[in-house]
Structure 1
Amino acid sequence: MNDYKIGKPAFSVALLHPKYWGVWFGFGLLAALVNLLPYSVSLSLGRSLGKIGMKFGKKRVHIARTNLRLAFPDMSPDDVEAMVVENFKNTGAALVESGITWFWPTWRFRRILIEKDISALRKHAENNQGVLLCAVHALNLEICARGFAVLGLPGYGVYRPHSNPAYEFIQYRGRTRNGNKLVYRRDLKQMIRVLRKGERLFYLPDQDYGHNKSVFVPFFGVDEACTTTGTSLIAYPSKCAIVPVSGFRTAQGTYEIMADISIEEQYPQKDMTAAAAYLNNYLEMVIMRAPAQWMWLHKRFKSLPDGTSHTRYQ
């Protein structure tokens, strides 16, 4: 199966060039913090950094506030502001969660996981059927992906290599722990091959990727939200199962790994507009398990049906 896998970047002396020292120092510090500090302390530190970040990210605050007002038109202004603050705290926590995912040993990582319900995924694994894992841009997505691998169900991630070779060297190893693998994000044929081989492929269809290969269907409170048709382009030719997945953090600091329902039987694969609307309903359900842990800082509703963009965020 190595023929459809992104190659593991090799270490070379060139990666020790002074221009990469900042990357090595930053990740080294992160690895030290998450391994030496108690988990609760490091998580609290990350959330505090996220709160501080609000002061320096006014544009992102505006984007998050606008997204929430559009998505939840009946939400009170006070509740919107509270959600924005919590979302920024979780954004800071995401840095710590990435460090935990990339640098914790498996025995320690396993202790923060709760196998909530992954029965649908285990059933498909027994039948050797490929599964499109429809995840959302949760701020703890890194933990979710490794969580499935630690529970014995690794998959392929849709991946864009980093332009900085030192960063890429570290990132690749962090994202391929416990058997996870990577597929280049623009290589649709390879994604289909992965699924036809009976593998699992993580795919994130919940953001606004622009007008190309997209349709406008309801998503939360927006009736015409730009939504990718990529799910249909992958699922139909591969004849795979489709399972929404998540791994949100609980109030106790554990992560509930879920893959409890298959939706491919009713999924209208030949009608891309209907399929996108159908899947959005399930993505909304996933996000509402922990809405403050979703990436509201992204311009989810920037593209408009008339071909323009960004006017909602002015």
Structure 2
Amino acid sequence: MTQYTSQFDTSLKAKHFLPKYWGTWSLLALLFVCSYIPVSIRDRFASWCADKLYPAKFLQKRKNIAFTNIGLCFPDYSDSDKDALMQKNFRSMAQIALSLGEIAFRSQSFLHKRINFIGEHFVKEAEQSGNAIIFLAPHCYGIDFAGVAAISARGYPLSSMFKDYKNPIFDWFVTNYRTRFSRLHEKGALYHRSEGLKPCIKSLRDKAHFYYLPDEDHGRESSVFSPFFATEKATLPVIGRLAKLGKAVVIPTYTSYNAKTGKIDVICHSPLSNIPSGCEQQDTDLMNQAIERVIAENKAQYMWTLKLLKTRPEEGVKIY
């Protein structure tokens, strides 16, 4: 059985305890405290903070990006529709942000109770059939809860990719909580994006599943254009290759914070039986269709503030 070693170093150094980082350490201490506050109290506080901060000027740039994305994807949305969606979006973001400490500091059994894992039988069926799994997980605020608390904490070996955070303390914190349960297994790891797809394919062949975030804009040269709601999106055309070379099934996965139950709903859908199709463009289109379906279940939890549509089919067009 192969254990893969990634090429990045997120270990703490003496310089990371200098005063310039004390603010970050204070934030992590706050997350630790929040992880033990009753969920109902924490959620009400998060919603109150979100509603108070929503009109703030420092958020205007991100809101403009979100309004642009929503307008392109849903041209029938009025300004009030966009605003209502983003107010819900911001509340969900605040509630999940104050919950993040749970992934790092709370027990495995606690996290099991926090997750409502819908469709886990698709995961078990794939494993029983001897298949590796590509969890197709578009950017929603609860993505770490799905990867860590739902999948890895339940004993499913998992690999994924990441890119560095600018703050090395946060980089250390996130990397450690993302790997806290995968370190207990004999396979699976966290890879830096600069390492490419090769280690992920090796992990898939070793039956370590891959948590794949497919919806970032990587630019014109690396992408093909594929329909995405009412617009077109520059999309990496790699899902078919990953599924074929990794001998894996593709399971669309979405995470929503359920404020009514106080739990995180991690929803796995049935595997996409038509990927790989043998056609790169067709596989990419089928993937985006699957992403649309899961986002449509709860649009308010998707990361509309990302520059998802920066690369346009018409060269030279700037929308942000």
What does the per-residue CA deviation read over 1:127-150, in whole Å, with 9 as the maximum and x for residues that have no partner?
Answer: 332211110101111111122223
Q: Give the structure 1 partner of residue 311 of structure 2.
A: 303
Q: Give the structure 2 partner of residue 218 of structure 1.
A: 227
Matched pairs, number:
309
Pair 1:159-2:166 in alignment: no
Q: Give the structure 2 partner of residue 20 of structure 1.
A: 21
**Counterparts of 2:99 and 2:241 in 1: how far apart (Å)?**
32
SS in 2 for 1:288: helix
Q: Give the structure 2 partner of residue 30 of structure 1.
A: 31
Match of residue 280, structure 2, among 254, 272, 284:
272
TM (norm. structure 1) is 0.90
What does the per-residue CA deviation read over 1:100-135, in whole Å, with 9 as the maximum and x for residues that have no partner?
Answer: 222222222222211221222111222332211110
**Counterparts of 1:148 and 1:301 in 2: how far apart (Å)?**
29
What does the per-residue CA deviation read over 1:209-228, in whole Å, with 9 as the maximum and x for residues that have no partner?
Answer: 22132111110111x22112
Pairs within 5 Å for 1:145-224: 145-146=147-148, 147-179=150-182, 181-187=189-195, 188-222=197-231, 224=232
Would the aligned equivalents of 2:244 and 2:276 in 1 still touch at CA under 8 Å? no
SS in 2 for 1:57: helix
Where do 5+ consecutive residues of structure 2 fail to align? 184-188
Give the drift of 1:245.
1.2
What does the per-residue CA deviation read over 1:21-57, in whole Å, with 9 as the maximum and x for residues that have no partner?
Answer: 222222112211222x211222333333333044121
Pair 1:312-2:314 in alignment: no
The range that moved more, 57-66 or 97-106, is 97-106
- Return closer, same or farther for 1:161/1:312 CA change in 2, 3 Å cut-off: closer
Q: Give the structure 2 partner of residue 92 of structure 1.
A: 94
**Counterparts of 1:9 and 1:78 in 2: how far apart (Å)?**
43
The range that moved more, 67-76 or 213-222, is 67-76
- Return closer, same or farther for 1:25/1:287 CA change in 2, 3 Å cut-off: same
SS in 2 for 1:312: coil
Would the aligned equivalents of 1:235 and 1:269 in 2 still touch at CA under 8 Å? no
Q: Give the structure 1 partner of residue 249 of structure 2.
A: 241
Would the aligned equivalents of 1:130 and 1:198 in 2 still touch at CA under 8 Å? yes
What does the per-residue CA deviation read over 1:183-218, in whole Å, with 9 as the maximum and x for residues that have no partner?
Answer: 222321101101111110101112322213211111
Percentage identity across paired residues of the two chains: 24
- Return closer, same or farther for 1:207/1:135 CA change in 2, 3 Å cut-off: same
Q: Give the structure 2 partner of residue 3 of structure 1.
A: 4
Residue identity matched to 2:297: R
Pairs within 5 Å for 1:42-81: 42-51=42-51, 52-55=53-56, 56-81=58-83
Residue identity matched to 2:206: K
Give the alignment's Cα RMSD to 1 decimal. 2.2
**Counterparts of 1:47 and 1:192 in 2: how far apart (Å)?**
41
Would the aligned equivalents of 1:6 and 1:182 in 2 still touch at CA under 8 Å? no
Would the aligned equivalents of 1:195 and 1:238 in 2 still touch at CA under 8 Å? yes
SS in 2 for 1:210: coil
Residue identity matched to 1:236: K
Q: Give the structure 2 partner of residue 257 of structure 1.
A: 266
SS in 2 for 1:296: coil
Would the aligned equivalents of 2:238 and 2:284 in 1 still touch at CA under 8 Å? no
- Return closer, same or farther for 1:40/1:193 CA change in 2, 3 Å cut-off: same
Residue identity matched to 2:252: P
SS in 1 for 2:4: helix
Where do 5+ consecutive residues of structure 1 fail to align? none
Q: Give the structure 1 partner of residue 186 of structure 2.
A: none
**Counterparts of 1:10 and 1:81 in 2: how far apart (Å)?**
41
- Return closer, same or farther for 1:14/1:81 CA change in 2, 3 Å cut-off: closer
TM (norm. structure 2) is 0.88
Residue identity matched to 1:156: S
**Counterparts of 2:311 and 2:268 in 1: how far apart (Å)?**
30
Would the aligned equivalents of 2:96 and 2:257 in 1 still touch at CA under 8 Å? no
Give the drift of 1:82.
0.5
